[in-house]
């Protein structure tokens, strides 16, 4: 597939932050975007803005049955993804690890790690069966390669994504790729929940997204197993 060929991109966490910005940039470049998010209202807004062949659904990625049903509909109605981006994630409220409630810690595991595994189970078999390559890009973080106080649960999940992605890369057939991608530091609601107004010194999702879209679209088999950062 040439660099400028139209792609079918499946993107979780498409309703806010960097995911929402990527939707706009990918559509502008002529690609078909299939996205999900938990907000019914935000999904409705995306559906109104981008009609078929684009496809948006309200899905909790931590719920394996929801992800499976969503994938079945996408594969039947839209097709097999060329690029699968697992972006949906949560961060814990700033606190030492021993003060993070069990329920909050568990929810991060379910979304940040379980959500990726659910997406792989739901989409990757069809990508393999197609036999024409395909890329799985799992969003990591600078905190998946280093640590900071008060975000231990988030660091743990993103370190897990790094390892999960490398193992997945060893399992995929030749011609496919699994890549862990650190998007960089972006002024999102998630970052502001941790850094407050200090997040304003970094690029907005809208400013970040043009270069990021090109980065994701350029990923290929040669990147399999790599841990990369959006420049």
| pTM for this entry | 0.96
> Which residues, 6+ apart, have CB-to-CB distance to 218 below 8 Å?
3
> Do the domain assignments include residue 2?
no
What pLDDT is recorded for position 5? 87
Q: Is residue 88 part of a domain?
A: yes
Question: Per-residue pLDDT tens for 218-231?
Answer: 999 999 999 999 97
Per-residue pLDDT, 209: 98
- Non-local (6+) Cβ contacts of 3 within 8 A are 217, 218
The catalytically annotated residue of 123, 154, 208, 216 is 154
d(CA 65, CA 60): 9
Give the number of domains in the chain: 1
177-194 exposure pattern, b = at least 16 Cβ within 10 A, e = fewer: bbbbbbbbebbbebbeeb
- Please indicate, yes or no, if residue 1 is contained in any of the structural domains: no
Residuewise pLDDT in 10s, the chain (231 residues): 555 689 999 999 999 999 999 999 999 999 999 999 999 999 999 999 999 999 999 999 999 999 999 999 999 999 999 999 999 999 999 999 999 999 999 999 999 999 999 999 999 999 999 998 999 999 999 999 999 999 999 999 999 999 999 999 999 999 999 999 999 999 898 888 888 888 889 889 999 999 999 999 999 999 999 999 997
CATH code of the domain covering residue 218: 3.40.50.720
**Rg of the Cα atoms in the chain:** 17
Q: Is 173 exposed, middle or buried (0-12, 13-18, 19+ CB in 10 A)?
A: exposed
**Which pLDDT value is given to residue 132?**
85
Q: Could you give the CA distance from residue 172 to residue 153 in angstroms, rounded to a whole number?
A: 28
Residue 186 is given by DSSP the state: B
Residue 143 lies in a domain: yes
Helix 152-171 to helix 115-130 angle, to the nearest 10 degrees?
20
- pLDDT, one tens digit per residue, over 107-153 is 999 999 999 999 999 999 999 999 989 999 999 999 999 999 999 99
Q: Is residue 163 part of a domain?
A: yes
Residue 50 bears catalytic tag: no
Q: For residues 130 and 84, give the distance between their C-alpha atoms in angstroms, rounded to a whole number.
A: 14
Residue 110: inside a domain: yes
Residue 117 belongs to domain spanning: 8-229
């Amino acid at each position: 597939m040439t660099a400028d060929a139209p792609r079918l991109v499946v993107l979780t966490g498409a309703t806010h932050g960097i995911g929402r910005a990527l939707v706009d940039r990918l559509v502008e470049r002529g690609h078909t975007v299939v996205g999900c998010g938990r907000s019914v209202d935000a999904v409705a807004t995306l559906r109104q803005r981008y009609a078929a062949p684009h496809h948006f659904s309200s899905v909790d990625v931590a719920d394996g049955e929801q992800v499976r049903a969503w994938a079945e509909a996408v594969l039947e109605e839209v097709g097999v993804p060329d690029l699968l981006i697992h972006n949906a994630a949560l961060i814990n409220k700033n606190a030492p690890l021993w003060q993070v409630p069990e329920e909050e810690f568990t929810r991060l595991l379910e979304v940040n790690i379980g959500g990726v595994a659910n997406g792989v189970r739901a989409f990757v078999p069809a990508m393999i069966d197609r036999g024409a390559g395909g890329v799985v890009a799992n969003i990591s973080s600078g905190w998946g390669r280093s640590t900071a106080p008060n975000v231990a649960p988030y660091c743990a999940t993103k370190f897990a994504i790094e390892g999960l992605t490398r193992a997945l890369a060893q399992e995929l057939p030749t011609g496919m790729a699994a890549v862990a991608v650190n998007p960089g530091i972006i002024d999102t609601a998630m970052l502001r929940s941790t850094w407050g107004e200090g997040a304003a010194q970094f690029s907005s999702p809208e400013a970040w997204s043009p270069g990021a879209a090109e980065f994701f679209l350029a990923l290929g088999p040669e990147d399999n197993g790599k841990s990369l950062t959006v420049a």
